[in-house]
Amino acid sequence: MAKRGIGDVALRGRRVLLRVDFNVPQDATGQVADDFRIREALPTLNHLRTSGARTILLTHLGRPGGQRDPRFSLKPVARRLSSLLGQPIPLADDIVGIHALELSARVENGQFLLLENLRFLPGEEANDPGFAAQLARLGDVFVQDAFAVLHRAHASTVGVPQRLPSVAGLLVEREVRSLTPLVTNPAHPYAAIVGGAKVSDKLPLLSSFCGRADTIVIGGALAFPFLAADGHPTGTSPMDPALLPAVAQFRDRAAAAGTRLVLPTDLVVDRPGGAPEVVSADAVPPDAAAHDIGPATRARFREALAGTQTVFWNGPLGQTEDPRFAAGTREVLGALAALPGYHVGGGGDSQRAAQELGVLGGFQFISTGGGASLEFVQGIQLPGLAVLPDA
């Protein structure tokens, strides 16, 4: 999977189109609320600066739908990036228009220019050849450092590298190096901890672990259809009955592969007008919704992880944005810090939860990519990675 990297090309004086993923959350005032993805790109940015490259940054923010929308302007990103780099980062108010062309021509060695949100134009997500050609005209070399979008066949991820000499940035190299052990010959026992709310999206991920992981620990809303399949009531917790046949098929596949499933045995529930309470998984009241795993389940999950050599985690085990329902995720992931082995987290939501709960120390690596990391771990080829030349 090794790709040609940023150290394999001459950079001084050359215009470098750098695809980054600065799709970062913002607070109520429009300021950057979490700069994790920006900070993860700093090694590549500093390498380009010290190498004397003339760097033009490409990124998207949010889902403006191919139209200019001031709510998704990169102005807050430019301010945070300027602060992190200690030098002003100008923002072009367009992407491939005359202003972008003029500013890109003025970038000097060791300096940067940030173009406005790529998704302000429909050609980005459509992978329009004409738009990709316009972007490529701005640079001499393309550096791909946006791992989180490598599963998207967009103009800036596959169209531009087909038109310019292209290499992987330091973050993409690190992501590939860190995630590859989960795909090729992981150390056993191998456990996957999977939670979160996007149940239908997670079933293919779970299936990919059958026969590869020894144990799959299931929490969050993902557990509800499994509990329902066992005849347990789920109260007002979100549960789509249409998923039950797929759950049954997955369980048959896991059993045939010898992969153990570990489900909650108790839950923290909330009901109108009441305080959170712990109930058995087979006794959820009809007017209650489950928001976290209970104390017995936390102990059960920690026991399932004891002795493992490899752990992959994606998705919180409860509604961690509410402190009343964060204990399950905090306790289970916090226990990883005391365990030997290789622990990897995948996805932006997972990273934010780990950071807010103070359990980052339990992981050797947390990916910047949500969907990209999940597809990579499943062994699916990422189009934005496949287009880069092999080392």
Catalytic residues: 37, 198, 348, 371
Question: Could you give the maximum distance between any two Cα atoms of the chain, in Å?
Answer: 68
Q: How many helices (H) and strands (E) does the chain have?
A: 14, 14
**Would you say 234 and 290 are in contact if contact means Cβ atoms under 8 Å apart?**
yes
Residues 6+ apart with CB under 8 A from 210: 250, 253, 254, 256, 257, 259
The Cα 366–Cα 134 span in angstroms is: 34
**Alpha carbon distances (Å) from 111 to 37, 77, 78:** 20, 16, 13
Nearest of 158, 107, 106 to residue 135 by alpha carbon: 158
**Would you say 134 and 96 are in contact if contact means Cβ atoms under 8 Å apart?**
yes
**Would you say 337 and 331 are in contact if contact means Cβ atoms under 8 Å apart?**
no
Identify the bridge partners of residue 18 per DSSP, sorted by sequence position: 57, 143
Nearest of 198, 172, 185, 129 to residue 40 by alpha carbon: 172
b/e string for 316-351 if b means 16 or more Cβ within 10 A?
bbbbbeeeebbbbbbbbbbbbeeeebbbbbbbbbbb
The Cα 165–Cα 181 span in angstroms is: 28
Between strands 190-194 and 112-114, the pairing is unpaired
Residue 175 half-sphere exposure, CB side, CA atoms within 13 Å? 32
The Cα 144–Cα 167 span in angstroms is: 6
Which residue in this structure is represented by tokens 């992969």?
259
**Alpha carbon distances (Å) from 105 to 60, 73, 101, 109, 161:** 22, 22, 6, 11, 20
Other C-beta atoms within 10 Å of 240: how many?
Answer: 13
**Would you say 212 and 186 are in contact if contact means Cβ atoms under 8 Å apart?**
yes
